[in-house]
């Protein structure tokens, strides 16, 4: 560990797990936080947990530790311990009451840290706080499409909400909990939930954070939603998509399977809460427009058509609206989707 020992318990630990290839993005993320540090010394700590990168990550963090030695700490794993374990390790090394697991490819919007601290100071016994995001391109400059109502309703985009019932919170926020940078949680509760995760959730672990957040919310639903867009979400930069050679259909299949597994472990497969989450999942990822968009991928073939149809049918087939809305899009050949897309593009 590089950095000074924490003398007091911070209110908030901003934990940034990172890995090889993220040095440049990490610099942006760190600077966006450091330039917003509060006047109260020791209220916020920042910890970077490096999963054995071989790039310039250590230099990026070391330069900033020289300017902020009492606030910023760096830990580098001797070997790659996996995505899920690195996230947990970051929280383990922190000291704050609340933990903000900020993705190393995201950043904070101006005023974002102050908005979060204000909420945490006023609500000391929260299990979790979900905060809104602004979608930007891979350069964090260009505006990207906003989140559709199926993910965050228009009412939620306007009004803060306090939750005390798990079913209500999951109906509104269940899908958004997949976005790790948008969640600030009780650190001890997070570590307890992560420590109790079943093995199939830990490996490969791309959604173990979703398991922990969902489990925490169900166990103690003292949760809030803040519509202020405090996170800058870097789109077009998904590590799992890269691992799958940008096979969009395969990505959708893998993530749908993993989310269903995680939700089943967190709330019980077949439970009413599981049904709520899968319905919302179908409304968002299974929407006809999204399905047709998957088929526009450069690598998409008839094989991927079948893969999508089989997997979506398996997980959404119990929902009558799947047959009415999503199935026709899934049955449409990818050649037809691409031809229609080319026709509309040529008319612009």
How do residues 35-61 score in pLDDT, each as one tens digit? 999 988 899 999 999 999 999 999 999
Q: Dmax of the chain from CA atoms?
A: 64
Which pLDDT band, with edges at 50, 70 and 90, does 3 fall under? low
Using DSSP bridges, classify how beta strands 223-234 and 161-163 pair: parallel, antiparallel or unpaired: antiparallel
Residue 171 CB partners (closer than 8 Å, separation 6+): 276, 280
For residue 29, is pLDDT > 80?
A: yes
Gap between the Cα atoms of 212 and 193, Å rounded = 5
Report the DSSP pairing between strands 107-108 and 223-234.
antiparallel
The string of pLDDT tens digits covering residues 58-117 is: 999 999 999 999 999 999 999 999 999 999 999 999 999 999 999 999 999 999 999 999
Is residue 201 within 8 Å of 261, Cβ to Cβ?
A: yes
Q: Strand 161-163 and strand 107-108: pairing?
A: unpaired
pLDDT at residue number 242 = 54
Residue carrying the six token digits 């930007």: 136
* pLDDT for res 340: 77
Residue 195 vs residue 138, higher pLDDT:
195
Q: What is the pLDDT of residue 246?
A: 55
Question: What are the two backbone dihedrals, phi and then psi, of residue 12, each rounded to the nearest 5 degrees?
Answer: -135, 130
- Does this model's pTM top 0.85? yes
Q: Which CATH class is domain 12-236?
A: alpha beta
| pLDDT for 299 | 80
- List 85's β-bridge partners, or say none: none
Mean pLDDT of 6-10: 74
Q: Does the pLDDT at position 133 exceed 90?
A: yes
Whether the predicted pLDDT of 244 surpasses 60 = no
Helix%, strand%, coil% for the chain, nearest 5: 50, 15, 35
Structure tokens given for 340: 């229609």
Q: Smallest Cα–Cα separation from 174: which of 48, 296, 263, 58?
A: 263
> Is the previous residue joined to 307 through a cis bond, with omega within 30 degrees of 0?
no
Closest CA to 45 of 18, 83, 74, 78: 74
Q: How far apart are CA 273 and CA 266, in angstroms?
A: 10
């Amino acid at each position: 560990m590089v950095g000074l020992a924490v003398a007091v318990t911070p209110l908030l630990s901003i934990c940034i797990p990172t890995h090889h290839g993220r040095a440049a993005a990490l610099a942006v993320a760190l600077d966006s936080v450091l330039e917003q540090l509060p006047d109260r010394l020791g209220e916020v700590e920042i910890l970077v947990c490096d999963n054995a990168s071989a790039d310039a990550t250590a230099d990026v963090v070391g330069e900033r530790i020289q300017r902020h030695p009492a606030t910023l700490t760096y830990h580098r794993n001797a070997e790659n311990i996996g995505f899920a374990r690195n996230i947990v390790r970051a929280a383990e090394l922190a000291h704050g009451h609340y933990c903000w697991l900020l993705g190393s490819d995201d950043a904070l919007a101006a005023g974002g840290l102050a908005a979060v601290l204000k909420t945490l100071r006023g609500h000391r016994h929260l299990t979790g706080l979900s905060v809104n995001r602004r979608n930007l391109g891979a350069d964090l400059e260009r505006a990207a499409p906003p989140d559709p109502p199926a993910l965050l309703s228009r009412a939620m985009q306007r009004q803060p909400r306090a939750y005390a019932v798990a079913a209500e919170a999951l109906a509104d926020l269940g899908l958004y909990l997949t976005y790790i940078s948008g969640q600030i949680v009780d650190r001890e509760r997070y570590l307890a939930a992560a420590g109790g995760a079943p093995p199939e959730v830990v490996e490969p672990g791309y959604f173990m954070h979703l398991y922990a957040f969902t489990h925490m919310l169900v166990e103690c639903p003292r949760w809030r939603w803040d519509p202020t867009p405090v996170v800058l979400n870097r789109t077009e930069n998904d590590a799992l998509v890269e691992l799958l050679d940008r096979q969009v259909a395969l990505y959708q299949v893998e993530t749908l399977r993993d989310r269903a597994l995680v939700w089943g472990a967190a709330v019980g497969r077949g439970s009413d809460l599981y049904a709520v989450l899968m319905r919302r999942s179908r409304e968002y990822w299974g929407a006809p427009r999204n399905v047709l968009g998957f088929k526009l991928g450069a690598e998409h073939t008839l094989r991927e058509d079948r893969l999508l149809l089989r997997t979506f049918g398996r997980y959404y087939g119990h929902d009558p609206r799947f047959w009415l809305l999503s199935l026709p899009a899934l049955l449409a050949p990818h050649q037809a989707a691409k031809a229609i897309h080319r026709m509309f593009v040529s008319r612009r």
